[in-house]
Structure 1
Amino acid sequence: REAERDQLFDDFLAQRGALVNGTVTRFEGAMATVNLGKVEGVLPKSEQIPGESFRVNERVRAVVLEVRKQGTRVRIVLSRVHPDLVRRLFEIEIPEISERVIEIRSLAREAGYRSKVAVSCIDQKIDAVGACVGVRGSRIKNIVEELAGERIDIVRWNDSLQVLVPNALQPAEVEEVILCPMLGRVIVLVKEDQLSLAIGKRGQNVRLASKLVGWDIDIMTREELNEKLDKALEAFNSVPGAPADLAENLIEQGFFNFDDLSVIELDQLAELAGGLSEEACQTIVDFAEVEAERQEREQAAQKAAAHAAGVTTGRGGKPAVQREVAPAAPEAGAVAGSVETPGVDAPKVETAGVDAPVGAGVDPAAETAVPEAVEDSQLQPSADSSIATGAAESETAEGKAEEIEAAESETTAEVSAEPNTAEPVDGEESLAHGLGAESAEVAAGSGGVSLKPHQGDSTGD
């Protein structure tokens, strides 16, 4: 058994990073056990693509991540989140890669979300990116389906960082690339409308591009760069014992703050300072470390103060809602008719047969005098004012009724009307008096014509 175990161990140790096929046999919690033929492998939850799930007897592809001896058996750990899985799938689906015509120069992956693959071709007549995509995306589509819909960006490789970095940050448009070799940093300048696209969702695009090119990438606008340059020049000029040209030399190499200066090598600092002694360089580095720690404490205190202010001003960091006290409104029923008060909708008075607009026939002086009285909280309307307002509206309604009656008397020979016995509402007289709201008979000439208004229609003809 030990000899068989050693043979299996040697076989799978040689296949580390290779793609294997297996069948899911059982689950132990979230960990899946995969049958690989002679031996079983395990696929932990941490090595599964986020969001994917398997069923028993389902076939699965994974790469061999780890092989180790465990008693009389061999334990094989599989992975579906390792970048080698994308590399092996490219080799299977794209013949030019397996034939070494197209080469994968670099690969960066965040499993389940996005991957960037940089490819190059030794034959200038072959488009490396087009060959990987395939006709209408036929080749890359199979890889995306195997990776549970993971987005894949294929980038054209170039030995020059001035060309490779803009390619890696696609689809964002880059204005300028500034290299800082001493810090291993690349400063990328973009327009304001391209800033969020270059950074990506939660920094995903710039993070993958940085892994792909192997350099730190700092994305900013030109205005932000100028602001950083001014602050850095002012800060470095305050360093005691520093030469006059040290600040400019540090900025040219991409040093923008004391945190960057605190990690510089002494020989590099001496070179930038024009042959400064080792003791003087150590003094500058110590000063930079102290200033970096001080600035870090200040930033932490500012964040804590802002967080505390956000908690006290409102729930969830939002400012508390301040409410203004409005003037006291008059009691309901105290003002009748069409008197308008601030913040209170004037009631609309409905009359039988005629829809009179609110405030018709009312003295405007009565309306303009009310807001001042309300602000002084001295509005004390009496019952007499309510009756007077109702009487004014009643007179207006009667005037309209008389006009309608006069118009009908010109075209009719005889009008017989039955008076309305309905009680007036809120002191108003009925407008149906003399109109025959319930029924009306009109005799014209020798023949009689009966006119009956529509039921439920409150508007007079």
Structure 2
Amino acid sequence: MDGKEVLRIVDAIQRDKSIDKEIVFSGIEQAILSAARRHFGDDHELTVDINRDSGEPTVYCDNEKLAQDILGEILGRVAAQTAKQVMIQKIREAERDTVFDEYMEMQYQSVSGAVSRVEGGAVLINLGKIEGILPRGEQIPGESFRVGDRVRAIVLDVRKAGSRVKVILSRTHPDMVRRLFELEIPEVADRIIDVRSLAREAGYRSKVAVSCIDSSIDCVGACVGMRGARIKNIVDELAGERIDIVRWNDSLQVLVPNSLQPAEVEDVILCPMLGRVIVLVRDDQLPLAIGRKGQNVRLASKLVGWDIEVMTQTELDEQLDKTVEAFSSIPGVSEELAESLVSQGFFSYYDLSVIEPDQLAELGGLTAEQCEQIVEVADRESERVEAEEEAMKQAQQNQPAGTAPAAPVAPAKGLSDVAAASEGDDAPAEEASTETEAAAESVTESAASEPVEAASDPEESEDTAVVENETEVATDSESVESSADEPVQVENEVEESTEKQE
């Protein structure tokens, strides 16, 4: 075997495949060793060494150097074919490892390519050296791709599959928004503006908290851009996903109201022991703070890293009274201790069941045994309340349609009920809907006497629902109240005209 030929092969493979020369030399040594074992059998100790400068191979059999003519016999036609196959396999493995290492370093980084084909909902994207896979579950809801479309995504995962490398891409991961901010906003790429936190529900809404090391720069305005040009490019890339940019603040008293924008917050109550924040808003701001199906408060909770419960002052007062009464009924808990627990943010049996006994002892001056008994009782009560709620849900599901549901007897559970309403789908909307239906019935009765006054323009109401979608409940309630007052005026006018005729 000519040493110059070996060096030429190594250089070509290193240049074309981007494989380290040492890996190629090792592959050739393994190939020659395989051919030597085929020639001598497995009874001999064989080693192969290639000079990295000259390329000349040397074979040792039982620690004795073999002559070059014997080496030529070893690398006969059949043995050479075997050596070639081994070398090809080693090179493929080295190439796979190189690609794997390259894309592992790019994990959660942005890549782009053209769609090569679509198979069963998954999109295969040509990334140059390899095809990336964009699964259906990692695509933004509602978007579709055609062959040839340019697609940008982030590298979510890299896996070895035999001799191949699978690169899994994602467009729904929160870091997708972060990488787009770095691409579209130079201040973010230069680390002048820092993306401190990010919460996302792909395809619907994202919240991004930013801060700036230079106080003279408006970090929110810089991200939005002139006439919204910068943020518009990001929104277009994310198929119209809504993006809220808020100013980061180390104080939760400031950050939480910022994260709940556009809702106006009246007060913020921190509960450090439970990692909870109670946010008080006006009645007209409650639907806006919670958001559609709880989306706004849910994203705000992810953004700040604390559980957020949104309620009005009236709801808070009612829940506090119920919670103090419920805690006071537990043996060993005085009214003063119950009020102290409530002031620290413990608003349900579940909250009390997870408290550490030593923390409870500090609050109430109790012994360790008393604290353990209180926690055990709270744990049992929490399980009882949960079982009753589950039974109530099952009863409602099994109830025949058209029958009135039985009035539930809700045990005192504290603010966890409000938390369920805040994080649930439509609890505030359901309450507003009940009031709207009751008012609508009164409007219908009044409309029978004066249909002209009660009639409303359907186009106007439809436009209002579209523009003011976040305050839809409040708008509907106001229109119902105004409509309910008009027939009263009509009846008064009829009575006055009757008196004049008499």
Q: Does 1:183 align with 2:183?
A: no
CA positional deviation for 1:298: 2.4
Name the CA distance, whole Å, in 2 between partners of 1:26 and 1:299.
50
Matched, 1:287 2:382: no
Q: Which residue is 1:146 aligned to?
A: 237
Q: Deviations over 1:246-297 (max 9, x none)?
A: 21111011111111111111221121122x2222111111100111122222
Distance across 1 between alignment mates of 2:400 and 2:228: 49
User: How far off is 1:176 after superposition?
Assistant: 0.2
In the aligned structure 2, how far is the partner of 1:306 from the partner of 1:57?
52
The answer to whether 1:4 aligns with 2:95 is yes
- Describe the SS at the equivalent of 1:311: coil
CA distance in 1, matches of 2:109, 2:201: 19
| More helix by percentage | 2
Tell me, which stretches of 5 or more residues in structure 2 are unaligned? 1-91, 406-502
The counterpart of 2:105, out of the listed 1, 14, 24, is 14
Whether 1:207 and 2:298 are equivalent positions in the alignment is yes
Instruction: Quote the offset at 1:69 in angstroms.
Output: 0.8
1:86 has 2:177 as partner: yes
SS at match of 1:267: helix
Distance 1:210 1:59, change over 3 A: same
Give the TM-score taking structure 2 as reference length.
0.61
Greater relative contact order (Cα < 8 A, sep 6+): 2
CA offsets, 1:323-362, max 9 Å, x none? Answer: xxxxxxxxxxxxxxxxxxxxxxxxxxxxxxxxxxxxxxxx
The whole-number CA distance in structure 2 between the counterparts of 1:35 and 1:300 is 50
SS state at 1:140 partner: helix
Q: Work out the CA distance in 2 between the residues paired with 1:127 and 1:147.
A: 24
Match of 1:64 among 133, 145, 155: 155
Q: 1:431 matched to which residue of 2?
A: none
Q: Which of 390, 394, 404 lines up with 1:300 in the alignment?
A: 390
Letter in 1 for 2:385: Q
Shift of the 312–304 alpha-carbon distance from structure 1 to 2, 3 Å rule, reads: farther
Q: Structure 1 residue 312: deviation in Å?
A: 4.6
Q: Give the 3 Å change call, closer, same or farther, for CA 192–244 of structure 1 in structure 2.
A: closer
1:224 aligns with 2:315: yes
Q: How does 1:396-415 map to 2 (within 5 A)?
A: none
Match of residue 265 from structure 1: 356
| CA positional deviation for 1:68 | 1.2
CA contact (8 A) 2:324 2:335 kept: no
Instruction: Read off the aligned partner of 1:302 and give its amino acid letter.
Output: M
Spell out the pairing of 1:284-433 with structure 2 (5 A cutoff).
284-309=374-399, 311-313=401-403
Aligned partner of residue 256 in structure 1, secondary structure: coil
Aligned length: 314
In 2, the alpha carbon distance for the partners of 1:76 and 1:227 equals 54
Displacement of 1:174? 0.3
| Residue 156 of structure 1, CA deviation | 0.6
Higher Cα radius of gyration: 1
What letter corresponds to residue 382 of structure 2 in structure 1?
Answer: A
- Opposite residue 361 of structure 2, the aligned amino acid is A
Structure 1 gaps of 5+ residues are: 316-461
SS at match of 2:169: strand
> Is 2:100–2:160's contact at 8 Å kept on the other side of the alignment?
yes
- Following the alignment from structure 2 to structure 1, what is the Cα–Cα distance between the partners of residues 184 and 309? 35
Q: 1:32, 1:309 → 2: CA distance? A: 45
Cα distance in 1 for partners of 2:171, 2:336 equals 53
Shift in alpha-carbon separation, 1:8–1:251, aligned structure 2, 3 A: same
Supply the distance in 1 between the matched residues of 2:253 and 2:341 (Cα, whole angstroms). Answer: 21
The alignment status of 1:29 with 2:114, answered yes or no, reads no
8 Å contact from structure 2 (residues 277, 307) kept in 1: yes
State how far apart, in whole Å, the 2-side matches of 1:314 and 1:174 are.
37
* Contact kept in structure 1, 2:100 and 2:159, CA below 8 Å: yes
Q: CA RMSD in A?
A: 1.5
Q: Could you state the TM-score of these two structures normalised by the residue count of structure 1? A: 0.66
Look up the SS of the partner of 1:245 in the other structure.
Answer: helix
**One-letter code of the match for 2:187?**
E
Structure 2 partner of 1:250: 341
